[in-house]
């Protein structure tokens, strides 16, 4: 029994926040993307820096679980992911009414519109509608961005506890004192009703964000518009904020909840 416990401990990551083998397996799955739907053993080994024998064991386990599928000299997403995708879609799919509000907003403002929700030290994009311009900001559904930067972060941190702000400050490119700046930015955004950021995360990118409230009035998501700096002069920012506020109020009135459920919400529309 003692040796089993030691083995389990050796599987923990150095910071104690997870299991090393699980993290490695997820890192392998994370290599798959629309641009790279097939990965080879060599690519996995080079990208992860793991020994080939370790990669082989992890890949074999993922294959047995149906999460990877051997195909044409490499590996593609396995059929086992379909079940997870179906479950995730049922919880996070944006209702049609909300999607229409976002599409109309993107067409009217000419910029990309996103909805972000917080997840620990990150904010996750759960819906987006792209700008009609060739030069536009692109964020895919599921993309994670740090919660210590950007207009949406200032909105989502409105009621954040000090412990989270300190963790975010330490995870940022700043020091622990940055927690005070995060708190001040969130308070300013709450007073003003919207937040603005410029080149805080992506160089040359400006974003304007407003809160989406749940039934209790608490902020559960952010609605933002983003694009190149040169298309966001001061007068445009003021107009964007007003348009976003109206759209966010409409989305909240439609019964926006998190996790989302298109089926449940569509019945209430």
Scanning the structure block, which residue is given the tokens 């990551």? Answer: 13
- Average pLDDT of the chain, as a whole number: 87
Q: Where are the domains of the chain?
A: 2-78, 87-268
Q: Tokens standing for 139?
A: 């964020």
Looking at residue 148, its pLDDT comes to: 96
68-77 pLDDT, tens digit per residue, is 999 888 999 9
* Distance separating alpha carbons of residues 179 and 144, to the nearest angstrom: 20
- Domain boundaries 2-78, CATH class: mainly alpha
- For domain 87-268, give the CATH number: 3.30.450.40
For 137-155, letters b (16+ CB in 10 Å) and e give bebeeeeebbbbbbbbbbb
Min mean pLDDT across 8-17, 69-78, 236-245 is at: 8-17
Contacts with 264 (C-beta within 8 Å, 6 or more apart), sequence order:
257
33-65 pLDDT, tens digit per residue, is 888 999 999 999 999 999 999 999 999 999 999
Please give the model's pTM, rounded to 2 decimal places.
0.74
Region 156-178: mean pLDDT is 94
* CB-neighbour burial class of residue 29 (10 A; exposed 0-12, middle 13-18, buried 19+): middle
Q: Would the pLDDT of 10 be above 90? A: no
* Distance separating alpha carbons of residues 265 and 245, to the nearest angstrom: 21
Strand partners, 222: 116, 211
Q: Would the pLDDT of 142 be above 90? A: no
Looking at residue 17, its pLDDT comes to: 57
């Amino acid at each position: 029994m003692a040796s089993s416990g030691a083995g389990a401990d050796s599987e923990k990551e150095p910071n104690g926040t997870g299991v090393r083998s699980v993290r490695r397996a997820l890192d392998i799955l994370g290599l798959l993307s629309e641009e790279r739907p097939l990965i080879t053993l060599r690519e996995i080994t080079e990208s992860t820096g793991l020994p080939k024998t370790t990669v082989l064991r992890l890949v074999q386990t993922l294959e047995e679980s149906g999460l990877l599928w051997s195909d044409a000299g490499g590996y593609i997403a396995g059929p086992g992911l379909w079940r997870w995708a179906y479950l995730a879609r049922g919880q996070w799919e944006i209702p049609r009414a909300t999607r229409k509000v976002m599409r109309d907003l993107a067409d009217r403002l000419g910029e990309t519109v996103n909805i972000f929700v917080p997840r620990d030290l990150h904010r996750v994009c759960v819906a987006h509608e792209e700008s009609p311009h060739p030069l536009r900001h692109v964020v895919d559904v599921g993309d994670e961005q740090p919660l210590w930067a950007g207009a949406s972060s200032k909105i989502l941190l409105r009621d954040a506890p000090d412990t989270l702000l300190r963790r975010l400050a330490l995870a940022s490119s700043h020091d622990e004192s940055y927690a005070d700046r995060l708190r001040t930015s969130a308070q300013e955004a709450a007073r003003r009703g919207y937040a603005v950021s410029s080149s805080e995360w992506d160089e040359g990118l400006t974003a304007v964000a407003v809160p989406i409230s749940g039934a209790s009035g608490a902020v559960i998501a952010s609605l933002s518009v983003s694009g190149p700096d040169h298309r966001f002069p001061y007068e445009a920012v003021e107009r964007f904020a007003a348009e976003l506020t109206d759209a966010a109020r409409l989305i909240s009135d439609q019964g926006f909840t998190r996790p989302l459920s298109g089926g449940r919400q569509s019945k209430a529309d």
